[in-house]
Chain A
């Protein structure tokens, strides 16, 4: 089954404790991205990757890091989480970067206290 998986689905952590949210897709998609969803703000892109070893900042990259060492995986790293990073995070992938349908993972609800 074609899908995007994320782990963990729920995470409660404390300020400053490094964490990684994993994302994996099995569709051989080139393009992957991370979004955060906050009430009233819709989805905002954090980082994206057009292919292996190619990543770039989205609209709200501060406080986040990503890597793309393999085509299927695109982890999101919070080196020192802060309460304002409490949000719902979605990973998405698409065949190419140019106007392709995006497939979203199930989401990760992160709470930073």
Chain B
């Protein structure tokens, strides 16, 4: 069945460093969504990408959808402590196949 892999599983950074998480699908995706889950919280929608090669920015966050629509990435520039949490991509049929997530820890 549909598989969505995400790497790395964990990332520790110093505040101010950049961070990137990658999402790879075994099949072509119609769209991909990104969610953030704060510690103890629930997933919260960040963005959806639909077009091949699409790039979207939200302040310090940059989201990319691969040309073949089988991979995606989330890049955070100059991390802050408020970025702490787990970032999930979701693809597959109707965006319900979630990646395993990347847990980001930011140290002062």
Chain A residues near B (Cβ < 8 Å): 31, 33, 35, 40-45, 48, 58-59, 90, 92, 97-107
Which residues of A have CB within 8 Å of B90? 43, 102
Question: Known contacts A40-B9, A99-B48, A101-B33: does B43 contact A48 (CB below 8 Å)?
Answer: no
Q: Are A43 and B98 in contact (CB under 8 A)?
A: yes
A104 to B98, CA, bound (A): 14
Q: Are A107 and B98 in contact (CB under 8 A)?
A: no
Q: Are B94 and A97 in contact (CB under 8 A)?
A: yes
Chain B residues near A (Cβ < 8 Å): 1, 6, 9, 30-31, 33, 35, 41-45, 48, 50, 88, 90, 94-101
Beyond the given pairs A43-B98, A101-B33, 14 more chain A to chain B contacts, judged by CB atoms under 8 angstroms and listed by A's residue number, are A33-B96, A42-B6, A42-B100, A43-B90, A44-B98, A59-B1, A92-B43, A99-B48, A99-B50, A99-B94, A102-B33, A102-B96, A103-B45, A107-B42
Which residues of A have CB within 8 Å of B99? 42
Question: Known contacts A42-B101, A44-B98, A48-B96: does B31 contact A99 (CB below 8 Å)?
Answer: yes
Which residues of B have CB within 8 Å of A31? 94
Q: Which residue of B lies closest to A96 (CB)?
A: B94
Which residues of B have CB within 8 Å of A48? 96
Q: Which residue of B lies closest to A98 (CB)?
A: B94
Instruction: Please name the 9 residue pairs, one residue from A and one from B, whose CB atoms are nearest each other, closest first.
Output: A42-B100, A104-B42, A43-B98, A101-B45, A42-B98, A99-B31, A97-B94, A104-B43, A45-B96
Q: Are A104 and B44 in contact (CB under 8 A)?
A: yes
Q: Which of A40, A98, A99, A105 has a CB less than 8 Å from the CB of B100? A: A40
Question: Known contacts A42-B88, A59-B1: does B43 contact A90 (CB below 8 Å)?
Answer: yes
Which residues of A have CB within 8 Å of B43? 43, 90, 92, 102, 104
Which residues of B have CB within 8 Å of A104? 42-44
A104 to B30, CA, bound (A): 22
A29 to B31, CA, bound (A): 20
A58 to B90, CA, bound (A): 14
